Structure 1
Amino acid sequence: MSLPFLDADENLHLNLGIIVILLQCLSKSSRGSLKLNNDRLHAYHFLIKNPVKLNQVMPLLGKNGYILSHQDSFSVASISANVDPLFDREALKSLLTILISQKIVDVEYRKNEGFFYKLTNLGETKAGLLNGDFFSEMRIACEQLKGTLSISQSDINKALNQIMRRDAF
């Protein structure tokens, strides 16, 4: 008998939902410019699935820390997060390919900056259907991440590298 536990690293539908919520909340700045390219989306996807890491990164970026739930504070992931997704670009590419093929996500290419992603009208509708405790927590984490949209990707990467090196020892 298996427990009713979903592993967010492995569950396709859960990861599709997380990407949709990230795009719903963070794809555009308050002025309407597109913000989520491959690198930023990849970093945010990792951080939103690892609230303890998000809580460690935010102060390094000069932002308020994320308020952790009791469950997040004392989980196995809080002791040792799975960093493999940080190095798995193909997984994100596969998720985006599915969402684009279903016309949930739209892509815009900018020379010298790469691909940027946003939800289509259908995607916005689908995002509105994602509810429940898990997705509510994802939206709260996204609100915290909004403050990092103005921070350069290299600074976000430096902060991620810093917490990963600190945890390695």
Structure 2
Amino acid sequence: MSQKLPYLLIDDDFTLNYGIIVLILYKLGLSTKKNAVLDFEKLQIFLYLVKNPSKINPLLALAGKKFTPINSQYTYTIESLSTNVDVLFDRSKLKFLLRQLAARGMLECDSLTDPKSLKYLLSPNGIQFAESLTSSAPETNKDSDFNFSTPPPAENYFVAALEVISSLIAIQSQTTTRLNAYLNTIFKGN
């Protein structure tokens, strides 16, 4: 009998990543003018930032945006403070998640907003699913700010994830090239 305990890498958990992608698309998929804004690369950057919230405020500062108070319980973790950039370069995981969303009828694509780029957004089924993930969240969670001073209930991780995702609204309109430049500056420590 093996004396080793199984080690589960939570970063690779399908249901967790599926839920995070759904919430990113739910909160950031459409601009205030209702145009689709998330292409593959921007979605990948936002996924990285949600998983590494300690990088959000430095990025907001570089973008000239207002500081967003993020609960220290999310930012001061070993994983969040590390510079593991695998999420930014492993396209296969995000492709798999997008295929699963499409197969379940939760994903729509828009090539009309910008014919040079395919944009992703949630279908009505996807929106309904996203809202079910945060059903214990206050009714104001759609278009308003969260109360950042108190953490959400521990039983709903997706409410906490939505809180972090909401902090990215300020950079939603930034180009992918600019977001990559900001991240490179952060990684270099400048």
Matched pairs, number: 166
TM-score (norm 2): 0.78
* Cross-structure match for 1:99: 101
| Partner amino acid, structure 1, of 2:130 | A
Question: 1:87 corresponds to which letter in structure 2?
Answer: F
Distance 1:53 1:138 in 2: 15
Q: 1:57 aligns with which of 56, 59, 66?
A: 59
SS at match of 2:12: coil
Q: What's the counterpart of residue 137 of structure 1?
A: 160
Q: How does 1:48-127 map to 2 (within 5 A)?
A: 48-110=50-112, 112-127=115-130
Unaligned 5+ segments in structure 2 are: 135-154
Return the index of the structure with the highest Cα Rg. 2
Q: State the Cα RMSD in Å.
A: 2.2
Write the distance in 2 (CA, Å) between the matches of 1:17 and 1:81.
Answer: 23
**What code does the residue aligned with 2:161 have?**
M
Share of identical aligned residues, percent? 30
2:140 aligns to what? none
Give 2:33's aligned residue.
31
Residue aligned with 2:34, SS: coil
Checking the alignment, whether the CA contact within 8 Å between 1:19 and 1:45 is kept in structure 2 is yes
* 2:131 is aligned with 1:128: yes
Aligned structure 1 segments of 4 or more residues deviating by more than 6 angstroms = none
